[in-house]
Protein backbone atom coordinates (compact mmCIF):
# COMPACT_ATOMS: atom_id res chain seq x y z
CA UNK A 1 0.00 0.00 0.00
CA UNK A 2 1.32 3.40 -0.84
CA UNK A 3 1.75 6.17 1.66
CA UNK A 4 1.61 9.29 -0.49
CA UNK A 5 -0.65 12.25 0.27
CA UNK A 6 -3.61 12.55 -2.06
CA UNK A 7 -4.48 8.88 -1.62
CA UNK A 8 -8.13 7.88 -1.15
CA UNK A 9 -7.81 7.44 2.63
CA UNK A 10 -6.10 10.81 3.07
CA UNK A 11 -8.80 12.35 0.87
CA UNK A 12 -11.45 10.97 3.25
CA UNK A 13 -9.65 12.47 6.26
CA UNK A 14 -9.29 15.85 4.54
CA UNK A 15 -12.95 15.91 3.45
CA UNK A 16 -14.05 15.01 6.98
CA UNK A 17 -11.82 17.73 8.47
CA UNK A 18 -13.41 20.31 6.15
CA UNK A 19 -16.93 19.10 6.94
CA UNK A 20 -16.52 19.31 10.72
CA UNK A 21 -14.33 22.43 10.89
CA UNK A 22 -17.27 24.80 11.28
CA UNK A 23 -19.64 22.38 13.00
CA UNK A 24 -18.06 19.69 15.21
CA UNK A 25 -21.53 18.13 15.66
CA UNK A 26 -21.18 16.84 12.09
CA UNK A 27 -18.47 14.47 13.39
CA UNK A 28 -21.00 12.59 15.54
CA UNK A 29 -21.96 9.22 14.05
CA UNK A 30 -24.28 6.65 15.60
CA UNK A 31 -23.75 2.98 14.78
CA UNK A 32 -26.44 0.46 15.70
CA UNK A 33 -26.91 -3.26 15.82
CA UNK A 34 -29.95 -5.37 16.71
CA UNK A 35 -29.94 -8.94 17.94
CA UNK A 36 -32.39 -11.73 18.51
CA UNK A 37 -31.87 -14.98 20.41
CA UNK A 38 -31.54 -18.21 18.39
CA UNK A 39 -31.13 -21.73 19.70
CA UNK A 40 -29.86 -22.44 23.19
CA UNK A 41 -27.40 -19.52 23.49
CA UNK A 42 -26.95 -18.27 19.92
CA UNK A 43 -28.07 -15.04 18.33
CA UNK A 44 -28.49 -13.33 15.00
CA UNK A 45 -27.18 -9.78 15.00
CA UNK A 46 -28.05 -7.32 12.27
CA UNK A 47 -25.76 -4.36 11.68
CA UNK A 48 -26.77 -2.24 8.74
CA UNK A 49 -27.62 -4.61 5.91
CA UNK A 50 -25.50 -7.44 7.33
CA UNK A 51 -26.46 -10.27 9.64
CA UNK A 52 -23.92 -12.26 11.61
CA UNK A 53 -24.58 -15.37 13.62
CA UNK A 54 -23.11 -15.82 17.09
CA UNK A 55 -22.97 -19.05 19.08
CA UNK A 56 -20.96 -20.75 21.78
CA UNK A 57 -19.04 -24.01 21.62
CA UNK A 58 -20.73 -27.06 23.15
CA UNK A 59 -18.62 -26.68 26.32
CA UNK A 60 -20.38 -23.35 26.92
CA UNK A 61 -23.89 -24.52 26.07
CA UNK A 62 -24.00 -23.79 22.34
CA UNK A 63 -23.97 -25.79 19.15
CA UNK A 64 -20.69 -24.35 17.90
CA UNK A 65 -22.30 -23.06 14.69
CA UNK A 66 -20.58 -19.65 14.69
CA UNK A 67 -17.90 -17.66 16.51
CA UNK A 68 -18.72 -16.73 20.08
CA UNK A 69 -19.03 -13.12 21.33
CA UNK A 70 -15.45 -12.83 22.57
CA UNK A 71 -14.14 -14.20 19.27
CA UNK A 72 -16.17 -11.49 17.53
CA UNK A 73 -14.58 -8.96 19.89
CA UNK A 74 -11.12 -10.17 18.83
CA UNK A 75 -12.22 -9.97 15.18
CA UNK A 76 -13.51 -6.43 15.74
CA UNK A 77 -10.23 -5.41 17.37
CA UNK A 78 -8.15 -6.93 14.57
CA UNK A 79 -10.24 -5.43 11.78
CA UNK A 80 -10.21 -2.01 13.43
CA UNK A 81 -6.44 -2.24 13.82
CA UNK A 82 -6.11 -3.08 10.10
CA UNK A 83 -8.19 -0.05 9.10
CA UNK A 84 -6.34 2.23 11.50
CA UNK A 85 -2.92 0.99 10.32
CA UNK A 86 -3.94 1.68 6.73
CA UNK A 87 -5.23 5.18 7.46
CA UNK A 88 -2.24 6.16 9.57
CA UNK A 89 0.33 4.64 7.20
CA UNK A 90 -0.98 6.94 4.51
CA UNK A 91 -1.19 9.96 6.81
CA UNK A 92 2.39 9.45 8.02
CA UNK A 93 3.78 8.55 4.60
CA UNK A 94 4.83 5.07 5.74
CA UNK A 95 4.89 2.23 3.22
CA UNK A 96 3.43 -1.09 4.31
CA UNK A 97 3.74 -4.03 1.96
CA UNK A 98 2.04 -6.61 4.16
CA UNK A 99 0.10 -6.38 7.41
CA UNK A 100 -0.94 -9.36 9.51
CA UNK A 101 -2.53 -9.13 12.97
CA UNK A 102 -3.30 -11.82 15.54
CA UNK A 103 -5.14 -11.33 18.83
CA UNK A 104 -5.71 -13.70 21.69
CA UNK A 105 -7.27 -13.24 25.08
CA UNK A 106 -7.36 -15.08 28.39
CA UNK A 107 -10.84 -15.74 29.76
CA UNK A 108 -11.63 -17.52 33.01
CA UNK A 109 -15.18 -18.94 32.66
CA UNK A 110 -15.67 -18.93 36.44
CA UNK A 111 -16.52 -15.22 36.11
CA UNK A 112 -19.11 -15.79 33.37
CA UNK A 113 -20.75 -18.70 35.17
CA UNK A 114 -20.77 -16.84 38.53
CA UNK A 115 -18.65 -19.52 40.19
CA UNK A 116 -16.28 -16.93 41.66
CA UNK A 117 -17.33 -13.29 41.88
CA UNK A 118 -13.70 -12.25 42.31
CA UNK A 119 -13.00 -13.41 38.73
CA UNK A 120 -13.75 -11.00 35.88
CA UNK A 121 -16.37 -12.17 33.37
CA UNK A 122 -14.33 -10.77 30.49
CA UNK A 123 -10.80 -11.11 29.25
CA UNK A 124 -8.08 -10.74 31.87
CA UNK A 125 -5.61 -9.79 29.15
CA UNK A 126 -5.62 -9.42 25.38
CA UNK A 127 -2.41 -9.75 23.40
CA UNK A 128 -2.17 -8.28 19.90
CA UNK A 129 0.69 -9.25 17.60
CA UNK A 130 1.19 -7.04 14.55
CA UNK A 131 3.50 -8.11 11.75
CA UNK A 132 4.40 -5.42 9.26
CA UNK A 133 6.59 -6.01 6.25
CA UNK A 134 7.95 -3.25 4.09
CA UNK A 135 10.95 -1.03 3.37
CA UNK A 136 10.66 1.31 6.36
CA UNK A 137 12.90 1.33 9.43
CA UNK A 138 11.83 -0.23 12.71
CA UNK A 139 11.56 3.31 14.13
CA UNK A 140 9.06 4.36 11.44
CA UNK A 141 6.92 1.28 12.09
CA UNK A 142 7.07 2.01 15.83
CA UNK A 143 5.84 5.54 15.05
CA UNK A 144 2.98 3.99 13.08
CA UNK A 145 2.12 1.66 15.96
CA UNK A 146 1.98 4.60 18.38
CA UNK A 147 -0.42 6.44 16.07
CA UNK A 148 -2.61 3.35 15.71
CA UNK A 149 -2.68 2.71 19.46
CA UNK A 150 -3.73 6.34 20.00
CA UNK A 151 -6.49 6.35 17.37
CA UNK A 152 -7.99 2.84 17.01
CA UNK A 153 -11.67 3.07 18.11
CA UNK A 154 -12.06 -0.57 19.21
CA UNK A 155 -8.79 -0.42 21.15
CA UNK A 156 -10.04 2.78 22.79
CA UNK A 157 -13.33 1.08 23.72
CA UNK A 158 -11.28 -1.68 25.34
CA UNK A 159 -8.77 0.42 27.22
CA UNK A 160 -10.78 3.56 28.02
CA UNK A 161 -13.89 4.05 30.08
CA UNK A 162 -16.99 3.71 27.89
CA UNK A 163 -20.27 4.11 29.78
CA UNK A 164 -22.87 1.54 28.79
CA UNK A 165 -26.48 2.30 29.67
CA UNK A 166 -28.88 -0.64 29.44
CA UNK A 167 -32.63 -0.10 29.13
CA UNK A 168 -34.77 -3.06 30.17
CA UNK A 169 -38.17 -3.16 28.48
CA UNK A 170 -40.69 -5.76 29.63
CA UNK A 171 -44.46 -5.96 29.30
CA UNK A 172 -44.66 -5.89 33.11
CA UNK A 173 -43.01 -2.50 33.52
CA UNK A 174 -45.00 0.71 33.11
CA UNK A 175 -41.84 2.59 32.24
CA UNK A 176 -38.52 1.34 30.98
CA UNK A 177 -35.87 0.98 33.63
CA UNK A 178 -32.35 2.18 32.90
CA UNK A 179 -29.74 -0.10 34.40
CA UNK A 180 -26.13 0.96 34.63
Q: How far is CA 35 from CA 22, 54, 89, in A?
A: 37, 10, 35
Q: Do the beta carbons of residue 143 and residue 149 sit within 8 Å? A: no
Each residue's pLDDT tens digit, 83-110: 999 999 999 999 999 999 999 999 999 9
Phi/psi region, residue 48 (left: phi>0; alpha: psi -120 to 50; beta: rest), is left
Domain ranges of the chain: 30-66, 68-159
pLDDT at 22: 86
Strand partners, 43: 37, 54
pTM of the predicted protein model: 0.87
Q: How far is CA 95 from CA 32, 86, 102, 117, 140, in A?
A: 34, 10, 20, 47, 9
Q: Do the beta carbons of residue 131 and residue 101 sit within 8 Å? A: yes
Please list, in sequence order, all residues whose beta carbon lies within 8 angstroms of the beta carbon of residue 173, skipping any fewer than 6 positions away.
Answer: none
CATH topology assigned to domain 68-159: GMP Synthetase; Chain A, domain 3 (3.30.300)
Q: How far is CA 167 from CA 122, 164, 173, in A?
A: 21, 10, 12
Each residue's pLDDT tens digit, 16-72: 888 899 899 989 999 999 999 999 999 999 999 999 999 999 999 999 999 999 999
How far apart are alpha carbons 88 and 77 in whole angstroms?
Answer: 16
Amino acid sequence: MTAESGTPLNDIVEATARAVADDPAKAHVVFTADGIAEGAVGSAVTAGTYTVRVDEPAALGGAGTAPNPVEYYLAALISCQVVTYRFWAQRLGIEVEQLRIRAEGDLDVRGFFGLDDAVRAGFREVRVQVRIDGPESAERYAELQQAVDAHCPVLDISTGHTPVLTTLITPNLEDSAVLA
